[in-house]
Amino acid sequence: MKKPKIFGIWGNSKKSEFWTFLPQIMRWGESNKLEIYLTDHIDERLKDNKSFQYKVIENADDFNKLDFILALGGDGTILSLARAVGPREVPILGIHLGKLGFLAEVIKSKMFERLDQVVLGNFQIQKRMVLKGTIKNENIQKNVFALNDFVVDRGASHRLLTYSLKSNGHKVAKYQADGLIVSTPTGSTAYSLAAGGPIVDPTVSSIIVSPICPHSLTFRPIVLSGDSKLTVEYEENDEAVLAVDGQIKEELDSNTELRIEKGDYSIHLVTFSDSSYFKTLRSKMGWGRRGE
């Protein structure tokens, strides 16, 4: 990869560690003659802002100016940044400040070692699939995008949801369940995994559908082609809630049709030649270990 000259910083400013590392990273950037951009949210809260030279990301198009951007926090920080960056293909390097943090590539103790690699151009880009959801009824048509998953659940209701799932116009199944998870391979290690779904290599183009507590012994998660076009419809007068990457919520009703398909762009994550997805599975999720 080319050597970067401009980078941005995005982070979870609620974490005290973020403010501990921020000035260290900015000094590192200055020592490597890199131009620095901060979000306006960080700029407003930075107490010693006169000690550093930087510019502010004032709108989404400013992401196009960056050679890469740091996400300091947990998985939620990376998910929110991915939504903000959208189709602009800015490489994202996750710095893990949280508890589990599966998406973040770098741990705190290796932060500056990895940053030194990036500034030399010693890194790779891994493209991650995004799902596009279209919410449509007689009043609205709205698009939403998810790097991890779309989750439809019953919200505050105590009733099971009754809904049908179609793929490319063909009926897959009619479900009675607490809800449905439709995830990308990236999201296969999130809520989908907790609901009994499979782990899918993040480079595989696929869509994973996992029912939540289905009222049946026969329903199991299913992996569909990444080119599938899914439709979720309600067959009774149920109300439900759609969660987008666990961060945005949309109200659904029986008159609403939800379409889900592969997005027309991907999210670019920074990775390294000695990184391993399966090593991360073993170290962070205990995959492959025998129970105690």
Catalytic residues, by residue number, are 75
Q: Are 265 and 139 in contact (CB under 8 A)?
A: no
Tokens for 291, please give them: 């129970």
